[in-house]
Structure 1
Amino acid sequence: MYTPRAFALDDLPEIQQLIQHTRLAQLVTFGEQGLQASHLPLLLNPDEGAHGTLYGHLAKANPQWRDLQNGSQALVIFAGADAYVSPAFYPAKAEHGKVVPTWNYIAVHAYGEPEVFTDAERLLAVVTALTDRHEGQRTQPWKVSDAPADYIDGMLKAIVGFALPIERLVGKRKLSQNRSEADINGVREGLAASVDVRDQTLARFIPQGVSE
């Protein structure tokens, strides 16, 4: 990921927090069948390894798991908030007009070589942890144990789990840091005033008085 210094995000706890707040990641591999990608919910253990370890699973019918088994390095993309930035947000537009549109966004790329596993106990632990995470905010959360045990056993036979110790992390926070303080404030105010909740979300990541 192209990351100019002004946009680089190097703080490990902040990167890990962004990973944990991303509900759906993209797992990308390259193997005998070329490039493959899957969209997956993942778990992060931030204390396992130098940068943390990711856990997830693929359908056994999905051939991508064979790339993982064969030692393919994987790229996992965590896409955070994003928003279109109009030149109209910049006070510089009225001053000299030398402005163009851009896109602001937050993203993390994680790289590593996954380990594949199929034993039922380990798979059940991953599936249970994922379920508890995403059911946790519901008034009456569903639990894996709510389903018949033999049914869950059958479902576990249809998936392949993986653990991905993160070897390298690249974080990027493109929040107009390369603009003047006035333009940064204009971007934040313009996005905050938008009717699109995605714009409002990104606006909250732009601090007051930031300038590079």
Structure 2
Amino acid sequence: MYMPKHFAETRVDILHGLIRDCPFATLVANTAGGLAANHLPFELVGNALHGHVARGNELARLDGAEVLAIFRGPDGYISPNWYPTKQETHREVPTWNYAVAHVHGRLKVIEDAAWLRALLERLTDRHEAAEPRPWHVGDAPDDHIEKSLRAIVGIEIGIERIEGKFKLSQNHPERNRRGVIAGLRRRDGDGDTELATLMALQEESSP
């Protein structure tokens, strides 16, 4: 990943936070037919990612393969009109701000039914938590759950390397960054509020 120094995010806690907040990743692997990308939710457990795929998925046959999991945070178009310096010099252009984390590791295929069920329970409980009457794995008949478990395999990716790129206008003076935050909040499109909040947090945490 192209990584200008001022966009590099190396704090592990921040990168783990992005993974927890945005757990739906693109998993890239090199297969016999070439590069393949799958889109999967993951749980961060210690220094590993846990997930599952259908038995028919090619990932189920790639035990030990080197993989890359890409987690995307908020992103959005940035108008040069939001920069105070544009009004003075007109020497600004549009760009795109975003936050991503790339996790590198090796795939481990897991056949253990108890491990799989525990994973499904954690995933379900997490994502059902906001529902007025959360659904639990145990709400389904045992035979249905057993059949479902036989149709999938678990996957684990031990994190060997993690890199983050938070492109949040750090290459601009503070007043331009504040202008971008204000512009995002004023536009209030899909993901704009989340991106503005992330930029504001970045401002607060900067040395």
Equivalent runs, 1:26-41 vs 2, <5 Å: 26-41=26-41
1:3 matches 2:3:
yes
Change (3 A) 1:62 1:186: same
Equivalent runs, 1:60-71 vs 2, <5 Å: 60-67=55-62, 69=63, 71=64
Q: What is the rounded CA distance, in whole Å, between the counterparts of 2:6 and 2:156 in structure 1?
A: 32
Change (3 A) 1:58 1:30: same
1:196 corresponds in structure 2 to 189
> 1:66-120: CA deviations, max 9, x gaps?
22x1x22110010000010011111121111111110000110001002111121
Further displaced range: 201-210 or 26-35 = 201-210
- Residue segments in structure 2 that go unaligned for 5+ positions in a row: none
Q: 1:211, CA displacement in angstroms?
A: 8.3
1:30 counterpart letter in structure 2:
N
Structure with greater proportional strand content: 2
Q: 1:23, CA displacement in angstroms?
A: 3.5
- Residue segments in structure 1 that go unaligned for 5+ positions in a row: 47-51
Q: 1:4, CA displacement in angstroms?
A: 1.1
Q: Is the contact between residue 27 and residue 38 of structure 1 (CA under 8 Å) also seen in structure 2?
A: yes
1:4 counterpart letter in structure 2:
P
Change (3 A) 1:12 1:210: closer
1:81 matches 2:80:
no
1:154 matches 2:177:
no
Q: Is the contact between residue 23 and residue 43 of structure 2 (CA under 8 Å) also seen in structure 1?
A: no
TM-score by length of 1: 0.92
Q: What is the rounded CA distance, in whole Å, between the counterparts of 1:162 and 1:8 in structure 2?
A: 28
> 1:133-160: CA deviations, max 9, x gaps?
1111212111111111111111111101
Further displaced range: 150-159 or 89-98 = 89-98
Over aligned residue pairs, what C-alpha RMSD do you find?
1.6
Structure with greater proportional helix content: 2
1:100 to 74, 83, 93: 93
Equivalent runs, 1:129-140 vs 2, <5 Å: 129-140=122-133
1:57 matches 2:56:
no
> What SS does the aligned partner of 2:28 have?
strand
> Number of paired residues?
205
Q: Percent sequence identity over matched residues?
A: 42
- Runs ≥4 residues deviating over 4 A: 208-212
